[in-house]
Amino acid sequence: MLGILGGMGPMATAHFYRCLIERTPASRDQEHLPVAIWADPTVPDRTQALLGHGPSPLSAMLTGVSWLTQAHATCVVIPCNTAHAYLDTLRNHTDVPILDMVSAALEACRTHQPTLRRVGVLATEGTRIARLYEVAGARLDLQIVHVLPATQSRHVDRAIANVKQGSDMARAEADIAVAVGELQKAGAEMAIAACTEIPLVAGEGQRIMPVLDSTSALADQALATLRPHP
């Protein structure tokens, strides 16, 4: 049983479950993984908490992990990159394994491009401040590249907000393309859509350079963990 600690945001959770289904080598319903989804959109904003501008999401996330445990989940995923700032604490409160989306994304990049050295990361300000990708990248000898602060606020943050609001998706896609172009100019060889809203509007950016969907990487890791023998 796969437990999904979701709602951060709702569309990202739906996108993860779709990725999981599409990437499962199944020919009939019964060959898919049993899944329990805890999708609580009232979890406090992770970025605002990390910036010191809002309450911690930890209590709400722990409630979700507890519910998933009671639902007999044997493995948990969190389809929200920024929420991984709280991963160690969550792991300390449960015996159920919680997969690491950040490491999964970077390892997938290395698999796609074994000689990779510089990875561009499109993420929330919270993920950047928590240095989640820098810490994980150091273990794989990968250098992490971010967009400039002005590009972060004018394009990346705006794109994420538009996806969450379900408004002006064309503008969001154009904003992400601007950010991908900047990462390429900064020497990135590949980019990661490291906020679970970004893969939904990364199409135009994909024409500039490869953009890996961190959500898909997490789905692949979940399948490898729970279905190790196809």
One domain for residues 67 and 141: no
Are 188 and 157 in a shared domain?
yes
Confidence of residue 37 (pLDDT cuts 50, 70, 90): very high
> Do residues 112 and 170 both lie within one domain?
yes
Q: Are residues 181 and 158 in the same domain?
A: yes
Residues 188 and 117 both lie in one domain:
yes
Assess whether 110 and 68 both reside in one domain: no
- Predicted confidence (pLDDT) per residue in 65-117, tens digit: 999 999 999 999 999 999 999 999 999 999 999 999 999 999 999 999 999 99
Query: Are 92 and 108 part of one and the same domain?
Result: no
Using pLDDT thresholds of 50, 70 and 90, give the confidence band for residue 229.
Answer: low
Q: Output the pLDDT for position 166.
A: 85
In the prediction, which pLDDT does 11 show?
Answer: 87
Note whether 143 and 46 are same-domain residues. no
Q: What is the CATH number of the domain that holds 57?
A: 3.40.50.1860
Q: Do 89 and 72 fall within a single domain? A: yes
Tokens for 148, please give them: 């400039």
Residues spanned by the domain of 13: 2-100+217-226
Residues 137, 196 within the same domain:
yes
Name the token pair of 145. Answer: 């590249």
- Alpha helices, DSSP H, located in the chain: 10-23, 46-50, 58-70, 87-92, 101-112, 125-130, 132-139, 149-151, 157-165, 169-185, 203-206, 214-226
Kindly report, residue by residue over 18-33, the tens digit of the pLDDT. Answer: 999 999 999 999 999 9
Please state the domain count of the chain: 2
pLDDT of residue 228: 67
